[in-house]
Structure 1
Amino acid sequence: MKLNRQKILDFFKKSQSKATVILNDKTRASKTIKDALGKAVTNKGDLEGVWAKLVLLFAVSKDYVNGSYTEIPKRSIVAILGGLVYFLSPIDVIPDFVPALGFIDDIYILNLVYRQVLKDLEKYKAWKDAQGKIIDIDGSPA
């Protein structure tokens, strides 16, 4: 199956627009992250190849929304949340319910976002390390 990259990127742009709106409402942003995390945990087996990246994307987005880490540029957090919005949508370029293929486009977008914001994620990891905290996604203090 050949991916229609342009169609995927068009859907992603829509997801980023939604993310911009969602970021203006901390409660809605937190719920979006929580819902995407729930979907990720439920489908962890299908996401094995991107799991470590996902953990980092969830962690930085949670820390940004709760106000504990705000040193990331707005465009980067919009891209991250846009990726999570895309991931959360069950009906995207390849619907998630399609066996064995449903997450291919989601993984493509999550990898794309990760590469786009890698330098910001490295700064986030250094900040987290300096605090002596591990990066987690379950919401408990580390």
Structure 2
Amino acid sequence: MKMNRQKILDFFRKSENRATVILKDKSKANTTIKDALGKAVSNKGQLDGVWEKMVLLFAVSKDYVNGNYTEIPKRSIVAILGGLVYFLSPIDVVPDFVPVLGFIDDIFILNLVYRQVVKDLENYKAWKDAQIEYIEDVDGSTAT
């Protein structure tokens, strides 16, 4: 099965458009993130190459939607949520139920999104680390 890069990118653009709409409704955005996380956890073995990146994408999108971290450009959060929407869709360029190949297009898109927003994710990680350090300073304990 040959991957059609342009077709995948076209599907992703549609996912970004859906993400823009979803971001206007905090409840829908949280549900989308939660559903995508559930699907990711259920298919963790097939997502081995992008698992750590996905965890970071879930974290930043959740913190953004909940208003905890808003220092990320709108275009970046739209790309991230668009990637999660694409991942969540069972029928995309390579349907997820296709053995072995089902997640190859999803992995391609998630890696693409990660590369597009890597600087923003580095800023987010620094902010998140500072939050943990602040909590440790306030209560005198060590975060785990």
TM-score, normalized by the shorter chain, greater than 0.5: yes
Counting only pairs closer than 5 Å after superposition, residues 79-94 of structure 1 correspond to structure 2 as: 79-94=79-94
In 2, the alpha carbon distance for the partners of 1:2 and 1:98 equals: 13
Q: Size of the alignment, in residue pairs?
A: 135
In 1, the alpha carbon distance for the partners of 2:95 and 2:114 equals: 22
1:9 counterpart residue number: 9
In 2, the alpha carbon distance for the partners of 1:73 and 1:131 equals: 20
Secondary structure at the aligned position of 1:52 is classed as helix
- TM score, norm. by length of structure 1: 0.93
Q: Does 1:100 align with 2:100?
A: yes
1:139 counterpart residue number: none
In 1, the alpha carbon distance for the partners of 2:100 and 2:2 equals: 14
Counting only pairs closer than 5 Å after superposition, residues 1-142 of structure 1 correspond to structure 2 as: 1-132=1-132
In 1, the alpha carbon distance for the partners of 2:61 and 2:101 equals: 27
Cα shift readout 1:26-54 (whole Å, capped 9, x = no counterpart) = 00000000000000000000001100000
How many Å apart are 1:131 and its aligned residue? 1.1
Identity in percent: 82
How many Å apart are 1:2 and its aligned residue? 2.3
Structure possessing the higher radius of gyration over alpha carbons: 2
How many Å apart are 1:3 and its aligned residue? 1.1
Q: Provide the alpha-carbon RMSD of the alignment.
A: 1.3
Secondary structure at the aligned position of 2:132 is classed as coil
In 1, the alpha carbon distance for the partners of 2:132 and 2:32 equals: 27
In 1, the alpha carbon distance for the partners of 2:44 and 2:114 equals: 18
Q: Which runs of 5+ in 1 are unaligned?
A: 134-141
| One-letter amino acid of the counterpart of residue 24, structure 1 | K
In 1, the alpha carbon distance for the partners of 2:23 and 2:97 equals: 28
More helix by share: 2
| One-letter amino acid of the counterpart of residue 77, structure 2 | I
In 2, the alpha carbon distance for the partners of 1:3 and 1:94 equals: 8
